[in-house]
Structure 1
Amino acid sequence: MQDIILETQGLTKEFRGFVAVNDVSLRVQRGQIHALIGPNGAGKTTCFNLLTKFLTPTRGKITFNGLDITRDSPAHIARRGIIRSFQISAVFPHLSVLENVRIGLQRETGLSFHFWQSDKRLNTLNERARELLDQVDLGEFADEMTASLPYGRKRALEIATTLAMEPELMLLDEPTQGMGHEDVDRVTQLIKRVSQGRTILMVEHNMNVVSSIADTITVLARGSVLAEGNYAHVSKNPAVMEAYMGTTEGELEGAHG
């Protein structure tokens, strides 16, 4: 029996008659990297917004660790351990890299987001913050102002602040978007590394990233599930190829839908 951490049943979202997400049933296995992919307009981001309750489903059910969370608030979802990268990773540009991670760590201390706490009190979090920065290869940047970080390093900092929230399920929304090749490779390896002992659900356009790290891939098209399986399986699916490239020939390799 598979250990399912997150499941949706018949998840549907309509906007004034337009069906953005249509009867999506998703099962995310604990300990896996699960990628949600699809062409532009497929409903991926809407699906993420439903899972984190930034949108309320029109119909359907969401369960996390077997508990119905369909009507939970975004704050409740986060407290349960479902953390979406941008929720706490719109990094503070005029704080240091270390201070950004420290803000995420406050959640576990009962000091949550008390910006007026004295430095001495917050300094007790420094050791753990530096450990997290080392995990994402940012240890040497700890004392730099976040605004001065290159874009790819800022995305790594987002992952560190997400990890600081002790997520049981990490939702990563387009983690390599807008990156050059070198940054894409670095962040891809970083995601692979921090996935050890965790579950990750990610929306990602870059098929090279998906093919190299995703255990399971769910393909959405026009709001519905088109295919699901590992990369070898979905990349050879004619319906998937047609949705991405308008052709039933060749493979998905390298496509950036």
Structure 2
Amino acid sequence: MADNILEARGLSKAFRGFMAVQDVDLSIERGSIHALIGPNGAGKTTCFNLLTKFLQPSAGRIVFEGRDITELKPADVARRGMVRSFQISAVFGHMSALENVRVALARSRGGNFDFWRSERALSVFNDRAHELLYDVGLSDSVDVPAAELSYGRKRALEIATTLALDPKLMLLDEPTAGMTESDVARIVALIRQIRSGRTILMVEHNLSVVSGLSDRITVLARGRVLAEGDYASVSADEAVITAYLGSEHADA
């Protein structure tokens, strides 16, 4: 049997009678990269928000590492090791890349976002912060204010702050959205690099990114699971092709 780190069963969400997500079953295998895709209006963002507890389901249950988290709040889920990228307000423009990661590391050790802590108190996180910035390709931007980073490099910094929380399951919400081709390539390489020993669930529009990264893909359409499998099988599925018809298979 697969070692599933996250499972959802019968997950549903209604908004004033409209079923945005209906009876979704989802299993995320530990150590895998799992993509959640679908045409516009498919319900993938709602599903993502349900899994990360930013929305409470109308029905169904969510189990993380064998424990029911259906009723928990986002902060409680994050403390258990399921961390959504950008969940901690990610980056602060007036702070350097190093300072951003140090704050995230302080939070991961049980502290709060106390920006008036002394430089000396935060300096204990310097070595680990430098390691994380190296991991995401930002060693040359340690002292650069986050607001001055390019869009792609800012997203890399956001991933570094997420990694600082040492997640068991990392959830990436459209990690390459709005990026140039070179930035997309950089983020794809970064995700490949950080996946070792980690589980990643991502919502992603770019199907070339999905095909190159994902071990398993779940396709949603009209709030329901339309297909699931590896890229080869879902891309050849007639129902998936029909769902994407007219969008040239590029608007996931």
TM-score by length of 1: 0.95
Structure 1 residues 89-98 or 52-61, which shifts more?
Answer: 89-98
Q: 2:151 is matched by which residue type in structure 1? A: Y
Q: Confirm or deny: 8 A CA contact 2:219 2:228 kept in the other structure.
A: yes
CA shift at 1:246, angstroms? 4.8
Q: 1:34 is matched by which residue type in structure 2? A: H
Partner of 1:150: 150
Q: Confirm or deny: 8 A CA contact 1:89 1:159 kept in the other structure.
A: no
Q: Confirm or deny: 8 A CA contact 2:14 2:58 kept in the other structure.
A: yes
Partner of 1:127: 127
Counterpart-to-counterpart distance in 2, 1:89 and 1:192: 24
Counterpart-to-counterpart distance in 1, 2:90 and 2:178: 16
Q: Evaluate the alpha carbon distance shift between residue 145 and residue 224 of structure 1 in structure 2; reply closer, same or farther with a 3 A threshold.
A: same
CA shift at 1:245, angstroms? 1.5
Note the alpha carbon deviations across 1:161-190, whole angstroms, 9 max, x for none. Answer: 000011000000000000010000110110
Partner of 2:100: 100
Note the alpha carbon deviations across 1:17-39, whole angstroms, 9 max, x for none. Answer: 10000100000000000000000
| Count of residue correspondences | 252
Note the alpha carbon deviations across 1:215-235, whole angstroms, 9 max, x for none. Answer: 000000000000000000000
CA shift at 1:109, angstroms? 2.7
SS at match of 2:143: coil
State yes or no: 1:256 paired with 2:251. yes
Structure 1: state its 5+ residue gaps.
none
Structure 2: state its 5+ residue gaps.
none
Q: Evaluate the alpha carbon distance shift between residue 195 and residue 89 of structure 1 in structure 2; reply closer, same or farther with a 3 A threshold.
A: farther
Partner of 1:28: 28
CA shift at 1:91, angstroms? 1.2
Counterpart-to-counterpart distance in 1, 2:162 and 2:188: 16
Counterpart-to-counterpart distance in 2, 1:233 and 1:159: 30
Counterpart-to-counterpart distance in 2, 1:110 and 1:210: 34
Identity fraction in percent: 63
Counterpart-to-counterpart distance in 2, 1:256 and 1:189: 22
Counterpart-to-counterpart distance in 1, 2:216 and 2:5: 14
Q: Which runs of 4+ in 1 moved over 6 A?
A: none
CA shift at 1:113, angstroms? 1.8
Q: 2:218 is matched by which residue type in structure 1? A: T
Counterpart-to-counterpart distance in 2, 1:15 and 1:110: 36
Counterpart-to-counterpart distance in 2, 1:223 and 1:110: 37
Q: Evaluate the alpha carbon distance shift between residue 32 and residue 89 of structure 1 in structure 2; reply closer, same or farther with a 3 A threshold.
A: farther
Partner of 1:48: 48
Q: CA RMSD in A?
A: 1.3
Q: Confirm or deny: 8 A CA contact 1:35 1:217 kept in the other structure.
A: yes
